[in-house]
Structure 1
Amino acid sequence: MTGESLEELAVRLFDAGAVRLGDIEAKLGRRTPIYFDLRVIVSHPKLMMAICRQLQNLAKEIPHDILCGVPYAALPFAAVMSVNTNTPMIMKRKETKLYATKKILEGVFEKDQKCLIVEDVVTSGGSLLEAVTTIRAEGLQVSHAVVVLDREQGGASVLKANGVQVKSVYTMTNLVKILRNAGRISDETAEIVSDHIKECQFGYSV
């Protein structure tokens, strides 16, 4: 499916259960009418490859020496991209290793290398910004991130204010429009999601 369109891929993601509708509790207890769960994609290899091809298309335009997936959902995407493009990868640990090397970053890298961050979903930008801060503290340069979905709730602006340009395969508005046109979600649900995006905006910087 090398020629698969973004519209076809969005429908496949929905049908695989990666897009869930309803009054769902998300991170930090927030409620959301639509939840994007890319963790299920590890069980769908062809879908995984299709998503990674789209991320690779975005990455082609960005100079980088190394990849880093934000744990945990984006790690499989970064790993597949690394193999597909023969680009080295590093992994950020959730916490510093408490024994032996006591590393926060796993893998081989050199100071001042350009690191491209891979993320599944950007909402507030908090998780991605935490990764950026850690990676920069280890001497790497970070100026871009590629993500599957920008929920358009302020996260991309937060990251831009901190020197990171976010490029996404989908925005929430775009994704909802595709799914509505494909008959997967109703006009009413699309309107609820649109209102939610406007009402729940995040903004801060470090």
Structure 2
Amino acid sequence: MASLEQLAAQLYDAGAVQLGDIEAMKGRRTPIYFDLRVVVSHPSIMMAVVLHLQNLADEIEHDILCGVPYAALPFTAIMSVNSNTPMIMKRKEKKLYASKKILEGIFQPKQKCLVVEDVVTSGGSLLETVGTLRDEGLIVTDAVIVLDREQGGASILKRNGVRVHSLLTLGKLVKMLRDAGRISDETVETVFDHIKVSQFGVGDNLEIAE
């Protein structure tokens, strides 16, 4: 299995890490953007990500897995097969006919569901999934993610009873990329400055009901 340092360089080389003045969520600008969707075209990188996520998951008690739509779904599916752990899927919208389900798959109330996500910035997408799972009677206390952008999302999730376990933080990622010769010291400083001034918090009203 590739080390995290090797994985960071592979993600950069595959185009999953993009640099520049990029428009991100809610019209905010960012000097670095992380797009894990491209990894589906790189099976070896995808498997490396999955193996690292599985290492985190093995330390957390859970009965089933659920990936946040859509980028995390391929990773979750492979984790499910590799670990023989059932998976459920959250629909973007409730089915309007037949079963009218919001969750696809088999589950029972009070089962512990581990959520899988690619990137946490504000935590909003993950919170939405957690809210749906809890509404359906599942217990959600933990999430495994690839990257924590360190912009307050993990703290917001913690306030809502969800512990975030990340493979990488944005700070660690850019240091790894610098040490691997992919980016400059100046870029590292720019990213750290961005982290300091681009924080989500209480005023962003992202909390969900327990």
Q: Could you say which TM-score interval applies, normalised by the shorter chain? A: over 0.9
- CA displacement 1:116-167 (0-9 Å, x = unmatched): 0000000000000010001000000000000000000000000000000000
Hey, what's the Cα distance between the residues in 2 that align with 1:191 and 1:61? 34
Hey, what's the Cα distance between the residues in 1 that align with 2:43 and 2:175? 26
Hey, what's the Cα distance between the residues in 2 that align with 1:99 and 1:196? 45
Secondary structure, in 3 states, of the residue corresponding to 1:148?
A: strand
Picking from 80, 83, 88, the partner of 2:81 is 83
The match for 1:184 is 182
1:108, distance to aligned residue in structure 2 (A) = 0.2
The match for 1:118 is 116
Picking from 36, 39, 42, the partner of 2:37 is 39
- CA displacement 1:13-65 (0-9 Å, x = unmatched): 00000000000111222111000000000001111000000000000100000
Q: What residue identity is the alignment partner of 1:59?
A: A
TM-score after normalising by structure 2: 0.96
- Identity of matched residues, %: 73
TM-score after normalising by structure 1: 0.98
User: Stretches of 4+ moved more than 3 A in 1?
Assistant: none
The match for 1:13 is 11
Hey, what's the Cα distance between the residues in 2 that align with 1:131 and 1:182? 35
Hey, what's the Cα distance between the residues in 1 that align with 2:97 and 2:44? 38
Q: CA RMSD in A?
A: 0.6
The match for 2:199 is 201
Hey, what's the Cα distance between the residues in 2 that align with 1:132 and 1:60? 20
Which blocks of at least 5 consecutive residues in structure 2 are unaligned? none
Secondary structure, in 3 states, of the residue corresponding to 1:197?
A: helix
Question: Structure 1 residue 135 and structure 2 residue 133: aligned?
Answer: yes
Q: What residue identity is the alignment partner of 1:109?
A: F
Hey, what's the Cα distance between the residues in 2 that align with 1:15 and 1:29? 27
Hey, what's the Cα distance between the residues in 2 that align with 1:200 and 1:183? 26
Hey, what's the Cα distance between the residues in 1 that align with 2:192 and 2:156? 20
Q: What residue identity is the alignment partner of 1:94?
A: K
Hey, what's the Cα distance between the residues in 1 that align with 2:138 and 2:50? 23
Aligned residues: 204
Hey, what's the Cα distance between the residues in 2 that align with 1:185 and 1:58? 28
1:190, distance to aligned residue in structure 2 (A) = 0.6
